Amino acid sequence: MSYPYYYRKRKYRSWRSRGHSFAPSKYAILTNLFGEAIGEIRRAFLNLDDDALDEMLSDYGSIYGESAETYARKTFPQWKSGATNLSGQTMERLVELVPPYLTAEIRFSLLQLILKKHKKNGVQHSVRINVKEPYEGFRELSTALNSMSHDYVLAHLPENVMKAASWLYDDDITSARSMLAEVERLENDMIRSKATREIELLRRTISSGQVQSASYSVEMPSGTLDVVAFAPSQCFVATVCFGENAPQTKTLRHWRDTCLIDKRLGRMFVVWYYANGEKLAEYASRHIVFKLLAKSCIGVFAKFISIFLKGKQ
C-alpha cells in the first residue's frame, strides 16, 4: 500500500512546532465520530515508542501545564500496565493529542473502523434464477454483481466522518481524502473477490442439478445482492388441491414471484417450501382428510392474498 510521503516518515511534528492554536474537542464528540476506533486510539497512545511519547507529553505540558505533564509522565507506566485506569479529563486530553504520532498503518486501520461505523445501508437488489433454465438468471446476476461492485464512498460520507478523517490527518484534507479513497478501494476489491468466488460456486452447484432451490445474500459496497434459485412453475400443495391453472394456484404463484422473493424471510420460506413441498403434496394426495383441510386453509389464504395484491396495484 502506498501512503503519502509525510505519513511514512518516523518524524513527529508536535502541536507546538506547528504553531497549532489548539482548541480541544470533547471526548464524547470524538467517541461519536470514531465509535470503537476511539479504543484503538487509546491503545495506540499506550503503545507509542519512547521518542513519540516524549514529544507528545511535552506538547501535553505546554498546553495544560507542567504539573499535568509531570503527572502524565509519572503515571504512564501504571496506565500501560492497567494498574491505573486512564479515564476522565486526562484521557480526553491525551486522546485528542494522539494523531500526529500515529503510524500510517494505525491511521489507516482507524479509517477502516470509521467507515464501518458510518457505513450506509445502500440499495437492495434481488436476482431470481430458474434452476431449470438458469442462463438468463446467471446473466442478470453477472450484470448486478458488476453494477454493485463499485461505489464512490466519498460522495456519500456524512460530514462528521470527513471531519474525523481530517482530524486524524492533522487537518490535511488531501491526505484524508486520499486515505479514505484507498480504504474504499481495498474494501471494494475484497468484497468483490469474495462475492465472485461464492456466486461462482452457487452457479456451478445450480448448473450441476444438485439443488432445486437455494437462497444467498452477499454484502456489496453499494448495498445487498440477494439471489434466490427455484423452479418458478412449481406450487406443489396448491396444485394437488386445486389444479395447475386454478385461480388459487395462480394467485399464490404470483404472490411468491412478486412479494416473497423480495424479502429475506420470504426467500427462506421459498427455499424451505421447495425442499419439503413435494413431500407435503404427495401426503395430501394420499390422505383425503389432510387434502380437504389443506384445500380449505389454502383457499382462504389465497383469497386473502388476492385482496392484498389488488390493494398494492
The torsion of the CA quartet 300, 303, 307, 310, rounded to 10 degrees, works out to: 150
Is there a domain that residue 271 lies in?
yes
State residue 177's pLDDT score. 78
Is there a domain that residue 267 lies in?
yes
User: Where a domain ends, among 81, 100, 117?
Assistant: 117
Is there a domain that residue 111 lies in?
yes
User: Where a domain ends, among 93, 117, 141?
Assistant: 117
Q: What is the pLDDT along the chain (313 residues), one digit of tens a residue?
A: 444 433 334 455 555 555 544 444 556 666 776 677 777 888 888 888 898 899 889 988 988 899 989 999 999 999 989 888 876 677 777 777 887 788 878 888 888 787 777 766 667 777 888 877 888 888 888 888 777 765 555 555 667 677 777 777 777 777 877 877 777 777 777 777 877 787 787 778 777 776 667 777 777 766 778 888 776 656 778 888 888 888 888 888 888 877 887 777 877 787 788 777 778 888 888 888 888 898 888 888 988 888 888 877 6
Is there a domain that residue 172 lies in?
no
Is there a domain that residue 11 lies in?
yes
Is there a domain that residue 143 lies in?
no
Q: How many domains does the chain have?
A: 2
Please tell me the pTM assigned to this model.
0.51
State residue 111's pLDDT score. 80
Is there a domain that residue 30 lies in?
yes
Is there a domain that residue 211 lies in?
no
Range(s) of the domain holding residue 29: 5-117
User: Where a domain ends, among 86, 117, 148?
Assistant: 117
State residue 24's pLDDT score. 47
